[in-house]
Amino acid sequence: MERCLRYRYYRLASPAVAEILESLMALSGPPILKNRPDRAAVDPLRQARSCYDHLAGSLAVVLADTLQRNGWINLQERDYQVTEVGEHGFAAFGLDLPALRHQQRLFARRCIDWSERRPHIGGALGAALMTQFQESGWIRRNPGDRKIWVSSAGQQGLWKTFGIDATP
């Protein structure tokens, strides 16, 4: 534990402990937010927000679920693996998967979403998807803000490309 003014920050003993805690969070189901004192600040972030450099929130969880259901990715332990179908699909969407695999970071990490308590896609693939969504004008974000807005073009694009209903 480390103190910083009135806050206390705890470190986990190892990545194995983090994995166990994430699994327990996933088992517990979605959190009940109606009694949170900061609900007005949390609610707008639930649909779509940034998680470091990748997409998070219910939209990101639905995207990960849809990509799995459509056979683009498979979850294997702590990471997603891109299938042959996914290789073609991501390439058609404009992503250079070989270049992403050569980055000095994890390729497609499972990231547990704090609001949904289910996984979304992190790592180089998650960051590339978010960048592509931004460059396509599908999503936008104000500097210094984690909230992400899906444009009408984004709603149409997510539906046509992935079969995802992104209406708020």
Residue 160 above 90 pLDDT?
yes
Could you give the CA distance from residue 160 to residue 8 in angstroms, rounded to a whole number?
A: 46
pLDDT value for 13: 85
Residue 4 above 70 pLDDT?
no
Structural contact between residues 102 and 96, judged by C-beta atoms closer than 8 angstroms? no
pTM beyond 0.95: the answer is no
| Average pLDDT estimate for 28-32 | 65
pLDDT tens for 105-137 read 999 999 988 777 788 999 999 999 999 999 999
Report which residue type is found at 62: V
Structural contact between residues 89 and 78, judged by C-beta atoms closer than 8 angstroms? no
Residue 72 above 90 pLDDT?
yes
Residue 5 above 70 pLDDT?
no
pLDDT tens for 74-117 read 999 889 999 999 999 999 999 999 999 999 999 999 998 877 77
Mean pLDDT for the chain overall: 88
Q: Which of 38-52, 124-138, 139-153 has the lowest mean pLDDT?
A: 38-52
Could you give the CA distance from residue 44 to residue 89 in angstroms, rounded to a whole number?
A: 31
- Residue 71 burial (CB count, 10 A): 12
Confidence of residue 145 (pLDDT cuts 50, 70, 90): confident
Could you give the CA distance from residue 122 to residue 61 in angstroms, rounded to a whole number?
A: 11
